[in-house]
Amino acid sequence: MVGLGPRRQPSRKGSMADVPHDLKQEIQRLEELFTVDTAKLKAITDHFISELQKGLSKEGGSIPMNPTWCMGFPTGHETGTFLALDMGGTNLRVCEITLPEEKGEFDIIQSKYRMPEELKSGTAEELWGYIADCLQQFIEYHHEEEKLDKIPLGFTFSYPASQDYIDHGVLQRWTKGFDIDGVEGHDVVPPFEKALEERGVPIKLTALINDTTGTLIASSYTDSEMKIGCIFGTGCNAAYMETCGNIPKLEHMKLDPNQEIAINCEWGAFDNEHKILPRTPYDIIIDKDSPRPGQQAFEKMIAGLYLGELFRLVLVDLHESKNVKFFEGQDISALQKPYSIDASVLSDIENDPYENLQETADNFKKIFNITPTKPELELIRRLTELIGTRSARLSACGVGAICKKKGYKTAHVGADGSVFNKYPHFKARGAQALKEILDWETGRDGKALGKGHDPVEIMPAEDGSGVGAALIAALTLKRVQEGKLMGIRDPESMLKNFGGQK
Ligand code: BGC
């Protein structure tokens, strides 16, 4: 490339030299607002631990800590053919997964369907009808002319749902911008099954799961060190395995205290009462203008859905501020539309390889019809670093809290989601924060002393909403066949349909 200036060096020290005083002051203000230092990380983690505990107590707390009735890890010897449905924010994914005899193996075929934006604020009937239509299409396409018995389905429904049984789930509240009337407070399974029946789709829901539980189980299928499943994507959350003896709110069920059960933390709701998180005025606006104010306080500071909006709110605020000249004389109307900036825009800015931030300048022109000055580009870039770093560091508090609560000195943490997979430096920033939280002594390589790797490693997960959902469906059927019916609502019909499936 010609005329773009030298490629950016890893450190941008000195690049602020030409930034005018008023902008420099704003950068400093933003740094103060968005930086979470070690002491704060530790304080947040400690509060997190007590909130995890509270969620498991009889009284309950902000973090739902939902028992999922997924009782223990797979052995690697699960077998059978299953469907998996993943109702994500952007896409609907349907998979058919075969677990063969070979340990830890799987075969998968899958199709994606677009999740129309209107559906997110439409009616419940439209939602279930659309999903059932997609499943019907999938089966017709992949099993043309076949006469099928019912196929067991693992449905990944990645919203907070309380479960008395694995094949049922009452939606506690919509998250991630969904706002469909008449679903919250109800079991989502009956209307879903009704839509399938109306269309004659040969499917039997066997397990309703969360994406984090799926991630935990899928990753543990191939890695026995796996202790926590996390999603850092449009939303954020984690699941881990707890022993029933540590769950006072299940005491009345008189379960074996050593029996393991996966807990879907729903940690996006951490600190809904605003006791500890360092919220900025921009976070407060995001919450106030969201469909569910007062909910998902933690998620709204770190998840992919909100990173672009945070960035946008700061830029608009700077433009309107009397203290600083920012995008002076420019038409910022393209920046005025809420939620118009995807987190990938921030990723691209952090990834801009040029010292003069040419790619960022080009993108601003193209997307917003704004021509930033060089110092404005510096602020823009610093802002993305601050937002991305805060997201990674706060995320680490949740992981650190589960590890401390469970006493894990070493662990693998399986993570998935667009922010984890695509946002630059998210992994390294998260690892650095974990190191500060868990006080590892490090060697010259920055890794835990003498090990060459971190004791708690957050690593890319296996496909939770595909393979994980299938595995949980398989584990459920196995329990039915063994007569272990705790937490299963409809074992008779599972036995009738799949009694012989091994
Ligand atoms: C949902 C969780 C989900 C997470 C990641 C949150 O908004 O409440 O159930 O696990 O997003 O998808």
Q: Could you tell me the distance, in angstroms and rounded to a whole number, from the CA of residue 306 to the centre of ligand 1?
A: 13
Query: Per-residue pLDDT averaged across 451-479, rounded?
Result: 93
- Global confidence as pTM: 0.94
Residue 8 pLDDT greater than 60, yes or no: no
For residue 150, being part of any structural domain is answered with yes
Residue 159 near ligand 1, beta carbon < 6 Å: yes
The count of structural domains within the chain is 2
Burial (0-12, 13-18, 19+ Cβ within 10 Å), 120: middle
Q: Could you tell me the distance, in angstroms and rounded to a whole number, from the CA of residue 321 to the centre of ligand 1?
A: 35
Q: Could you tell me the distance, in angstroms and rounded to a whole number, from the CA of residue 161 to the centre of ligand 1?
A: 10
Q: Tell me the average pLDDT of the chain.
A: 94
Residue 106 near ligand 1, beta carbon < 6 Å: no
Atom 9 in ligand 1: residue holding the nearest Cα: 159
Residue 13 pLDDT greater than 90, yes or no: no
Instruction: Indicate the pLDDT class of residue 3, thresholds 50, 70 and 90.
Output: very low
pLDDT for the residue 500: 60
For residue 4, being part of any structural domain is answered with no
pLDDT for the residue 89: 77
Instruction: Indicate the pLDDT class of residue 435, thresholds 50, 70 and 90.
Output: very high
Q: Examine the domain organization and report whether 238 and 368 are in the same domain.
A: yes
For residue 368, being part of any structural domain is answered with yes
Q: Kindly tell me the number of DSSP H helices and DSSP E strands found in the chain.
A: 15, 13
Residue 46 pLDDT greater than 80, yes or no: yes
Compute the distance between CA of residue 157 and CA of residue 69 in angstroms, rounded to an integer. Answer: 15
Instruction: Indicate the pLDDT class of residue 90, thresholds 50, 70 and 90.
Output: confident
Q: Return the CATH number at 199.
A: 3.30.420.40
> Among 62, 215, 232, 266, which residue has the most ligand 1 atoms within 8 Å of its CB, making it the best to mutate?
266
Residue 266 near ligand 1, beta carbon < 6 Å: yes
Residue 299 near ligand 1, beta carbon < 6 Å: yes
Domain that holds residue 115: 80-209+463-498
Residue 268 near ligand 1, beta carbon < 6 Å: yes
Residue 442 pLDDT greater than 80, yes or no: no
Residue 156 near ligand 1, beta carbon < 6 Å: no
Residue 158 near ligand 1, beta carbon < 6 Å: yes
Residue 2 pLDDT greater than 50, yes or no: no
Atom 3 in ligand 1: residue holding the nearest Cα: 158
Q: Could you tell me the distance, in angstroms and rounded to a whole number, from the CA of residue 38 to the centre of ligand 1?
A: 27
Dihedral sign from CA coordinates of 197, 199, 204, 206: negative
Q: Examine the domain organization and report whether 190 and 242 are in the same domain.
A: no
Q: Examine the domain organization and report whether 153 and 237 are in the same domain.
A: no
For residue 73, being part of any structural domain is answered with no
Q: Examine the domain organization and report whether 154 and 89 are in the same domain.
A: yes
Q: Could you tell me the distance, in angstroms and rounded to a whole number, from the CA of residue 61 to the centre of ligand 1?
A: 17
Q: Which atom of ligand 1 is nearest to the CA of 269?
A: 8
Residue 237 near ligand 1, beta carbon < 6 Å: yes
Query: Per-residue pLDDT averaged across 149-178, rounded?
Result: 96
Q: Examine the domain organization and report whether 270 and 244 are in the same domain.
A: yes
Residue 212 near ligand 1, beta carbon < 6 Å: yes
Instruction: Indicate the pLDDT class of residue 1, thresholds 50, 70 and 90.
Output: very low
Q: Examine the domain organization and report whether 492 and 368 are in the same domain.
A: no
pLDDT for the residue 441: 77
Tokens of 298: 């933690």
Determine the Cα angle at 263 with ends 483 and 206, to 5°.
Answer: 40
Atom 7 in ligand 1: residue holding the nearest Cα: 235
In degrees rounded to 5, what are phi and psi of residue 66? -80, 120
| Residues sharing a CB contact under 8 Å with residue 484, sequence separation 6 or more, in sequence order | 71
Instruction: Indicate the pLDDT class of residue 444, thresholds 50, 70 and 90.
Output: low
For residue 5, being part of any structural domain is answered with no
Instruction: Count the alpha carbons within 13 Å of 120 in the hemisphere toward its beta carbon.
Output: 17
- Least confident range from 146-150, 177-181, 473-477: namely 146-150
Which one-letter DSSP state was computed for residue 240? Answer: E
Compute the distance between CA of residue 492 and CA of residue 502 in angstroms, rounded to an integer. Answer: 16
Higher pLDDT residue, 6 or 347? 347
Q: Examine the domain organization and report whether 22 and 115 are in the same domain.
A: no
Instruction: Indicate the pLDDT class of residue 149, thresholds 50, 70 and 90.
Output: confident
Q: Could you tell me the distance, in angstroms and rounded to a whole number, from the CA of residue 231 to the centre of ligand 1?
A: 7
**358-368 helix and 343-351 helix, angle to the nearest 10 degrees:** 150
Q: Examine the domain organization and report whether 110 and 173 are in the same domain.
A: yes
Going from the C-alpha of 86 to that of each of 189, 302, 482, the distances in angstroms are: 14, 22, 28
Q: Of 437, 428, 378, 367, which Cα lies nearest the Cα of 402? A: 437
Q: Could you tell me the distance, in angstroms and rounded to a whole number, from the CA of residue 235 to the centre of ligand 1?
A: 5
Tokens of 398: 């949740």
Compute the distance between CA of residue 67 and CA of residue 28 in angstroms, rounded to an integer. Answer: 44
Compute the distance between CA of residue 399 and CA of residue 34 in angstroms, rounded to an integer. Answer: 20
pLDDT for the residue 449: 61
Q: Examine the domain organization and report whether 494 and 396 are in the same domain.
A: no
Tokens of 30: 């933003």
Tokens of 135: 């499943």
For residue 75, being part of any structural domain is answered with no
Query: Per-residue pLDDT averaged across 1-6, rounded?
Result: 48
Q: Could you tell me the distance, in angstroms and rounded to a whole number, from the CA of residue 18 to the centre of ligand 1?
A: 43
Q: What percent of the chain has pLDDT over 90?
A: 88
pLDDT for the residue 88: 81
Residue 191 near ligand 1, beta carbon < 6 Å: no
- Which tens digits make up the pLDDT trace of 205-258? 999 999 999 999 999 999 999 999 999 999 999 999 999 999 999 999 999 999
Instruction: Indicate the pLDDT class of residue 148, thresholds 50, 70 and 90.
Output: confident
- Which tens digits make up the pLDDT trace of 308-365? 999 999 999 999 999 999 999 999 999 999 999 999 999 999 999 999 999 999 999 9
Query: Per-residue pLDDT averaged across 399-409, rounded?
Result: 97
Atom 11 in ligand 1: residue holding the nearest Cα: 235
Atom 8 in ligand 1: residue holding the nearest Cα: 159
Q: Examine the domain organization and report whether 156 and 177 are in the same domain.
A: yes
pLDDT for the residue 197: 96
Residue 298 near ligand 1, beta carbon < 6 Å: no
pLDDT for the residue 151: 94
Atom 2 in ligand 1: residue holding the nearest Cα: 159
For residue 132, being part of any structural domain is answered with yes
Q: Which atom of ligand 1 is nearest to the CA of 299?
A: 7
Q: Which residues are catalytic?
A: 158, 173, 211
Q: Examine the domain organization and report whether 377 and 434 are in the same domain.
A: yes
pLDDT for the residue 12: 59
Residue 108 pLDDT greater than 80, yes or no: yes
pLDDT for the residue 433: 97
Q: Examine the domain organization and report whether 167 and 274 are in the same domain.
A: no
Determine the Cα angle at 51 with ends 417 and 255, to 5°.
Answer: 90
Q: Could you tell me the distance, in angstroms and rounded to a whole number, from the CA of residue 157 to the centre of ligand 1?
A: 9
For residue 214, being part of any structural domain is answered with no
Q: Return the CATH number at 358.
A: 3.40.367.20
Residue 306 near ligand 1, beta carbon < 6 Å: no
